[in-house]
Every structure is written in C-alpha cells, then in structure tokens.
Structure 1
Amino acid sequence: MSPVSLRRWGWIHKWSSLVCTVFMLLLCLTGLPLIYHHEIGHLLGTDVEAPVMPVDTPRGNIDAVIASAKELYPNKIMMYMSQEADEPAIWNVTLGDHPNDEHYKPIAVDARTTKVITEPAFEGGAFMSTMFRLHVDLFAGLYGKLFLGLMGLLLLVAIVSGAVLYSPFMRKLEFGAVRRERSPRLKWLDMHNLLGIVTLVWAFVVGATGMVNTWADVLLKVWQTTEIAEMLKPYEGSPPPTRMASVHEAIHRAESAEPGMKVGFVAFPGTPFTSSHHYGIYMRGDEAFSSRLYKPVLIDAETGQITDRRELPWYLTALLLSQPLHFGDYGGQWMKFFWAMLDIATIVILVTGLYLWLKRGRHAKAAAAAPAHAQAAPEREIPALVRKEAS
C-alpha cells in the first residue's frame, strides 16, 4: 500500500473513531448491564416470577386474564398482552387511556390461575430503565435513535479502516506483539491494535445490528403503510366494531392456523400494530432464533374470524434477527459471558484510542516546541512505517 493510501486510511480511521468514540463508550457501558437484565432484575427484586406449579398445569381462560387486569383499572382499555419465551406462565398485560398511551400500566397476570401477580416496574426499575433509554435513544426518541445509528455507521467505518491499516502496521511484528519495553504510548498502541483485531468480527456484527435496531421505528412505519394497509383494505370506511369477540377464541384460532408456533403478543384494536377492526395476534417459533421472528395473524375483532395472515417482509425479519445478535441473549449464560467479555474488551479499545490521541497531541506540541536537533533521536527509535501508522 502506498504512503498516500496509508495516510488516507489513517485519516479516515482517526476521525471516524474520534467522532463516535464517546457515544460508543456510552453504549458499551450501558449495554453491559442490559446483557444481564434478567439477572439484575432478579437481584433488585423487579423481575416478575410466576408461582411454582406443576409443569402440566393447564392454561386458564385468556378472557379471564384480561378481566383480572382490568379490575385494577376499569376505566382503561386493553393495548397489548404478551408472553416471554422463557416465562409462558405469565401474561404481561398493558392497559392505557387510549391506544397510543405512552403512560400505560403494565400488569403481570398468572396464565394458569388468571390472577394478578404484580404491577412490574417499567423496564426493570429506575436503574435498568435509565440504562435502556440511554442505550436505545439517549432520551431523545426517534431523533436519538437515528443519531446513534449514525454513530454506529461511523463505528463500522472505523473498524474497516482499522482492519485495512492493521496488516501494513504489523508487517515487521509478530501477531499479538505488545512491545512492553518501549514507550507507554507504543505499548498501548500495540494493545489497542491487538484487541481491535481480536474483536473485529464481533464488533462489526454488534455495531451493524445496533445500527439496524435504530431504524426500528422507521421500518415499522414502512410496514404499516404498505403491507398492513393492504391487509386492511377490505375494512376501509367500515364503522368500528360494536361488540368484541372473545380474545381466548381468537388466540385459539390463530394457534390452530399456525401449528408449531406460539403467541408472542396480541395487539388490540386501534394500536399501531393492528387496525381499529382487528386483533393483531403475532405468532412466533419456539427455538432460540425462531422465537424472535413473528408472523401476524389478523382476526376480525367483531366476528373472531381470521381475515389475513402472512410472513413479515425481509427488512422486518432482518430487524428481528439483529436484536438477539446485538444483545447475545439467545445462547444461555455462556453466550452472555462471552458477549460481556467482548464488550469489556471494546471499552478498553475505545479508552486506549482516546489515550493515544491525547498523548499524540501532547507529543506533537512538545516536538514543535523542542529545538530541531533534539527531535532527531526519537525519530530514529521508531521504524518509518510504524511511525506513520502510530500517528
């Protein structure tokens, strides 16, 4: 690679890294507790657990589940109800004053006894809620998500440019070499490069999936205005339903229509995931990855009959697949531990990158202030190629 190309790639790596480093550091720090959100919720007492019962205890009537939740807030309406893949004994019911209420009330109901268990803390309590919002949108909504998506794009540029620079930089050094006998700056430069190349694939995957996740609101809006709108065309101009069909029967029909799949969540009429005429029942698989992929089944909220069902478009499938890859929460405790260690390694990369940039600035100022004959000796200590890459 020519010196001009090296300088160009070095400039790209330097500025793409500097612009996004502080935000990537924030995302790594907030992402670490999110990897263990279930475990932290359990320690803080905010994680909801169902009472212990025999595994073959039958599921109760879902209409009774809804009735139990509404007893707490009789003037609110149903927005959603869902089940976690690893906790099928609990229905998470969401009530609000209107279908788009941002100040909704979450209620955990036992799926077997149909009795209310508790009103869980939003996102696992104040601490986890703060970590989640900082990680997802910086408390800035859609604009915060899109801004973090831009930072994720710069991270990918920094990773690619760093990989391009790594080969010529290490041409005269053994792989993984850390020159501890040299200056502290060179030692940390070697450590920065070593961790960067070791975590290269992981950092690229997590950065790319994180960037895709920031587009979630936009992709959902595209889906709602295209495929969902097409599914709802027969109901254009129709008055809202005057009576509501049994949710229990609607879910039973959806399960019969999609054998081998389970209910992920139910969107009630008027909410963004359905229409004012339908229950939107979103089915999912029962394996690690398939449990993240949903298939919508629209059921007429008045008659209880299925009106349409189809696969999600490719861009929503990509979005849903990106979420477990991003958080590493689909492969058990060892996967979480692996993700946490790589997250910590990335924090070290970011911190050492900032350190090297700050030290370089101080070194440049000191070199500019020193007499010309005093600058010659240090130059001879570092081979020309390394000197270019280190800068």
Structure 2
Amino acid sequence: MTRAAVQAWYLVHKWTSLACTAFLLLLCVTGLPLIFGEEIAHLAGTEPELTAPPPGATPVNLDVLIDKAKAQYPGNRPLFLGWYQDAPVVYVNLGPTADTPPARMKTALFDAYTGAAVPAPQFNDGIMFFILRLHTDMFAGLPGKLFLGAMGLLFAVATISGVVLYRPFMRKLDFGTVRRARSTRLKWLDLHNLLGIATTAWLLVVGLTGVINTLDEPLYDSWQKGQLVELTGAGTGRPVPTQLGPIERAVAEAKMARPELRPAFVSYPGTGYSGEHHYGVFMIGHSPLDQRNYQPVLVDAATSRLTGVPVWPLSLSAMYLSQPLHFGDYAGLPLKIIWAVLDIIAIIVLGSGIYLWLGHRGLSLQRRVLEVVESGVST
C-alpha cells in the first residue's frame, strides 16, 4: 500500500474513531447488563412465577382482563395487550392517551387462566429500564436513536478502516504479535490491533444490527403511511371509533386468518402500530427464529371483524430479527456469555484507542504514516 493510501485510510480511521468512541463506550458498558436482562430480572424477583395451568383449563376472556386493567388504573385506556412466551401471563399496557410513550405507560399483569392479578414491578421502573433508555436513545427519543445510529455507522467505517490498516502493520510482524518487552504504548498498540482484528466480524454484526434497531420508528411510520393506508382506507374521512369492539373476538379473527401462528401482542388504534381504526394482532411462529418475526393481522376496531393480512416489509423483518442478534439472545445463556466476553473485549479496544490517541497527539501525521509504511507499526 502506498504512503498516500495509508495516509488517507489513517485519516478515515482516526476521525471516525474519535467521533464515535465515547458513545460506543457508553453503548458497550450499558449493553453488558442488558445482555443478561432476563437473568437479572429473575434474580431480582421481578418476573412472575406461576404454576402451569391444570389440564383442560381454558384462558380467561380477554375483555374481562381489559376491564380489570382499567379498574386497576382508573383514567387510563388500554394501549397494548400481550402474552408472555414462557409463562401463562397476559399483560396490558395502559396510558391516558393513545400516543402515551412507553416511559409513562402503566402495566397490569394477570394469570391467563384464573384472571388473578399478578404482582410485578412496572417495566418502566428501576435501574434496568434506566440503562435501557440510556442504551437506546439517551433519553432523547427519536433524535437520540438516530444520533446513536449515526455513531454506529461511523463505528462500522472505523472498524473497516482499521482492518485495512492492519495489513501494513503486519508487514514486518507475525500475526498476533504483542511486543511486551517494548514500551507500554507499543504493547497496547499491538493489543489494540490484535483484539480489533480478532473481533471484526462481531463488531460489525453488533454495530450494524444496532443501527437497524434505531430505525424502528421511521420504518413503522413508512409502513403505516404506505401499505396500511391502502389496505385500511385511512385518510378517507372515516371517524376514529369511540366504542371499540371485543378484543377477544378480534384475536379469534386473527387466529382464523393465520391458524398456523399464535398471537404475541395486540396494538390498539392510535398507538402507532395499526393505524387509527384497527387492532393490530401481531402473530408469531413456534420455532426460535419465527418467534422473532411478526406477521400482523388487521382487525376493524369498531366491529372486531377481519380487515386483511398485510405483507410485512422486509425492512421490519430485518429489524425484529436483528434485535436478538444484537444482544446474543438466540441460543440461551451460553451465547449470552460469549456476547458478554466479546463486549468486554470491545470495551478494551475502544479504551485502548483513546489511550493511544492521547499519547500520540504531539506527533505529525507524516511521522505516523511513516511508522506504518516503513516500520510496520500502525497508529
């Protein structure tokens, strides 16, 4: 590689790294406990522990549970209803208005077969929710999400440029060399490059899936303004329903439309998931992969009759499939442990990058490039 090319790649690596490193450190540190979110909730006793229903038991009518949830939180309206995948629990999220943000929602939990209220902390309380908000949008809503998405793209560019620079670095060194007998800075330089190149694939996967996850709101908005409008006839002057049809019948309609699937959650009109006039019954499959990908079924909210089964866009499928990949949540605890180890390595790579930059600020660009091309040392 020519000196000019190394100089160009060095500039790309330097400035993209400097722009995103602090925010990536924040994401890596906050992401570490989120990897074990389920395990932490279990240890903290914040997950409901219920026994399996007796043979032949039938679930409680969903409208009964909705009435109980509204009685539990007077002045609020139901926004989402859903089922725990690993326990016979139905949750109802409520808020004063249809556009209530998650941070202000109330949650009621019920035994799906007895209808008894299940005591559990609110999902939007506590340290784990604080960490989640810090990780996803830094408490800045959509602008915060998009900003972190931009940092993720810069991180991908920094990673790729680091791979390009690694080749001239290795020109006079064996792969994996860490020169422990030399200066402390040189030892950290070798370690920074080795750990970076060894985890390149993971860094790109986690970084790019994180970028995809920040686009959830724009992707939903685009879907609703496109196919959803065509299917439901929204925007034709039809009044928003003031009296909603039975949710039990709406779910039954969805089950008949897609009998091979099972319902995961239901969105109420106006919540941003199914337009202003429809229930959105989001169905999932039974395999580990199909449980991560949703198929929406639209049901008229006034009559609880089937409207149609829209085509789920690939962009939203990619988003939902990328979420568990981002946190290593596809293969249980063993994969989570691997993800955590790699996350710690990423923290070391990012921290060592800051250390190397601070220790080399007084050197000229030409001298740094000469180190790469002539001495086989990357900066």
The residue that corresponds to 2:190 in the other structure is 190
Q: How does 1:243-322 map to 2 (within 5 A)?
A: 243-322=243-322
Which stretch shows the higher mean deviation, 348-357 or 302-311?
Answer: 302-311
Offset of residue 122 of structure 1: 2.7
Aligned to 1:113: 114
Q: CA offset at residue 82 of structure 1?
A: 1.5
Question: Secondary structure of 2:360's partner?
Answer: helix
2:11 corresponds to 1:23: no
1:324 and 2:324 correspond: yes
Paired amino acid for 1:139 = F
Alignment CA distance shift 1:384-1:14 (3 Å)? closer
Q: Could you tell me which residue of structure 2 aligns to residue 371 of structure 1?
A: none
Shift in CA distance, 166/55, structure 1 to aligned 2, threshold 3 Å: farther
1:86-106 superposed Cα distances (whole Å, 9 cap, x missing partner): 33x111101111211232211
Equivalent AA in structure 2 for residue 93 of structure 1: V
Contact 2:227 2:310 in 1 (8 A): no
Say if 2:346 is the partner of 1:385.
no
Q: 1:256 to 1:202 in 2, by over 3 A?
A: same
One-letter amino acid of the structure 2 residue matched with residue 29 of structure 1: V
Equivalent residue for 2:51?
A: 52
Matches within 5 A, 1:84-95: 84-87=84-87, 89-95=88-94
Structure 1 position 165 matched with structure 2 position 165: yes
Could you say which structure has the greater relative contact order, defined with CA pairs below 8 angstroms and 6 or more residues apart? 2
Structure 1 residues 354-373: aligned runs within 5 Å: 354-361=354-361, 364=363
Count of residue pairs the alignment pairs up = 373
* Deviates most, 52-61 or 30-39: 52-61
How far off is 1:141 after superposition?
A: 1.0
Q: Match of 1:72?
A: 72
Moved more, 341-350 or 67-76: 67-76
SS of residue paired to 2:308: strand
Is the contact between residue 192 and residue 353 of structure 1 (CA under 8 Å) also seen in structure 2? yes
Please report how far the alpha carbon of residue 234 of structure 1 lies from its aligned counterpart in structure 2 after TM superposition. 6.9
**Whole-angstrom distance in 2 between the partners of 1:21 and 1:234:** 44
Q: Structure 2: how far apart are the matches of 1:14 and 1:82?
A: 46
- One-letter code of the match for 1:82? G
Q: Where does residue 348 of structure 1 map in the other structure?
A: 348
Per the TM alignment, residue 179 of structure 1 is displaced from its structure 2 partner at its CA by 1.0
RMSD: 2.2
User: Could you list the per-position Cα deviations for residues 286-330 of structure 1 after superposition, in whole angstroms to 9, with x for gaps in the alignment?
Assistant: 222211211111112232211111221111111111111111112
- Using the alignment, how far apart are the partners of 1:261 and 1:290 within structure 2? 9
What is residue 36 of structure 2 aligned with on the other side? 36
Gap change, CA 1:33 and 1:182, over 3 Å in 2? same
CA contact 2:281–2:299 (8 Å) conserved in 1: yes
Note closer, same or farther for the CA distance 1:265–1:54 as it changes in structure 2 (3 Å cut). closer
Amino acid in the other structure paired with 1:99: A
Give secondary structure in 2 for the equivalent of 1:170: helix
Alignment partners' CA distance in 1, 2:7 and 2:54? 64
Larger radius of gyration: 1
1:265-291 deviation per Cα after TM superposition (whole angstroms, max 9, x unaligned): 101123221233321111112222211
Name the CA distance, whole Å, in 2 between partners of 1:108 and 1:172: 63
| Residue 54 of structure 1: how far off its partner (Å) | 4.2
Distance 2:373 2:2 in 1: 11
Deviation at 1:242, TM superposition (A): 5.9
For residues 201-216 of structure 1, what are the structure 2 equivalents within 5 Å? 201-216=201-216
Q: Deviations over 1:42-86 (max 9, x none)?
A: 2233x2214213474432221222122122124321111112333
Report if aligned partners of 1:264, 1:284 keep a CA contact under 8 Å in 2: yes
Cα distance, 1:18–1:241 mapped onto 2, change above 3 Å = closer
Q: Between 261-270 and 150-159, report the one with greater CA deviation.
A: 261-270
**Structure 1 gaps, min length 5:** 366-374
CA drift at 1:388: 6.6
The CA deviation at 1:176 is 1.1
Q: Deviations over 1:136-172 (max 9, x none)?
A: 0111111111111111111001011011111221122
Q: What amino acid sits opposite 1:172 in the alignment?
A: K
Alignment pair present for 1:223 and 2:211: no
Which stretch of structure 1 is more off in the superposition, 335-344 or 221-230?
A: 221-230
Q: Distance in 2 between matches of 1:308 and 1:155?
A: 41
| Distance in 1 separating the partners of 2:373 and 2:237 | 71
3-state SS, counterpart of residue 117 of structure 1: coil
Whether the 8 Å contact between 1:145 and 1:214 is mirrored in structure 2 is: yes
In structure 2, runs of 5+ residues without a counterpart are none
Spell out the pairing of 1:131-150 with structure 2 (5 A cutoff).
131-150=131-150
Supply the AA of the counterpart residue of 2:95.
G
